[in-house]
Amino acid sequence: MIALSPFTIAKRYLMSLQRNFVVYRKVWLTNALPNIMLPFFLFVSFGLGLNFLVGKFFYHGIEVSYVHYIAPAMISINVVFNAFFESTYSSYVRMDRQKTFDAMMATPLTMTEIMTGEILWGATKALIATAIMQAVISLFGLIQYPEGFLILPLAFLGGIAFSAFGLFFTGTLPTFEMVNLPVCLIVCPMCAVSGTFFPLQHMAPWLQWIAEALPLTHLVKITRAFSFGVMDAELWWSGAYLLVFCAIFFPLAVYVMRRRIMK
């Protein structure tokens, strides 16, 4: 038995990430663009379009324009789309049609390692997408630096959360078509009410309560703080929420995927 370095062990958890990256690299542009386009056009149409109608208002004590307000939210929605779609639609195809995980299970890899790689890959896609989108938005001067750089590691954390969340559905939904259900019933409404397009404090209390329970609300709060460069203590709560969300859905996703594949 050879002694194992932490590096060797870590590598095993990245195998499926690596596999997906090798495939992604082949046609990276067609792989990277589609999921970024929707959040980007939302940003352009709502942000630039409504900017003149809405005028300036105050957010956490600083005066912002509407485009300024929704830019960080679009970055967060971009994270959700890239991570969630990867670990639902794409992972479902790998699981069901391509039998990628079956093939990997005939090697020394364990289900936990394979699924960890899948989740981290969703997070990596979210990170890449964030970097591209953030670069474009920064050209409009809408992100404060150096605080803005913190958006990247945050996008990765958010990516893990939504990738694990998506993989949970991949492991539980009986057919591929049913993946549309969590997308339409959970992800899309969530993107609308998480303090993304409008501030929550003017909304009905019940809506505020719902919003506070959604992970995107917290991702948006922190992203906005980082891009405006205004931090407050409340952010720790949002950060803790995201960590707890990961701590629940990461093992849960691995569990349901194992139960589903290793029959």
Partner 1 sequence: MQYIVEARGLTKTFGDIRAVDGISFHILPGECFGMLGPNGAGKTSTIRMSYGFSPMTAGSLRIFGHEVNGNWRDIKSRIGVCPQDNNLDPDLTVAENLELYAHYFEIPKEEARRRTKRLLEFISLEHRRDAKVTELSGGLMRRLVITRALINNPELLILDEPTTGLDPQSRHQVWERLEELRFRGLSTLLTTHYMDEASRLCDRLVIMDYGKILVEGKPADLIKTYVGRDVIEVAAPSRELQDFVVAQHMEHENLSHRLVIYTHEGEKNFREISTRFSNVGCTLRMASLEDVFLKLTGRGLRE
Query: Interface with partner 1 includes 252 (CB under 8 A)?
Result: no
> Cβ of residue 261: shortest distance to partner 1, in angstroms?
8
The site map against partner 1 for 55-94 (x = CB under 8 A) is ----------------------------------------
Q: Is the separation of the CB atoms in 72 and 224 below 8 Å?
A: yes
Of 11-19, 57-65, 185-193, 197-205, the segment contacting partner 1 by CB under 8 A is 11-19
User: Residue from 8, 33, 140, 237 that binds partner 1 (CB under 8 A)?
Assistant: 8
What are the structure tokens assigned to 125, written together?
Answer: 């896609």
Decide: helix, strand or coil at residue 241. Answer: helix
Query: Interface with partner 1 includes 29 (CB under 8 A)?
Result: no
Size of the site for partner 1 (CB under 8 A): 23
Query: Interface with partner 1 includes 105 (CB under 8 A)?
Result: yes
Q: DSSP letter string over 82-140?
A: HHHHIIIIIHHIIIIIS-HHHHHHTSS--HHHHHHHHHHHHHHHHHHHHHHHHHHHHHT
Which residues does 57 contact at the CB level (< 8 Å), separation at least 6? 63, 64, 66, 69, 199
- Which of residues 23 and 252 has its CB atom nearest to partner 1 in the complex? 23
Residue 177 identity: E
- Which of residues 111 and 132 has its CB atom nearest to partner 1 in the complex? 111
Query: Interface with partner 1 includes 25 (CB under 8 A)?
Result: no
Which residues does 75 contact at the CB level (< 8 Å), separation at least 6? 39, 130, 133, 134, 137, 151, 155, 223, 227
Binding site for partner 1 (CB under 8 A): 8, 11-12, 15, 18-19, 22-23, 26, 98-100, 102-110, 262-263
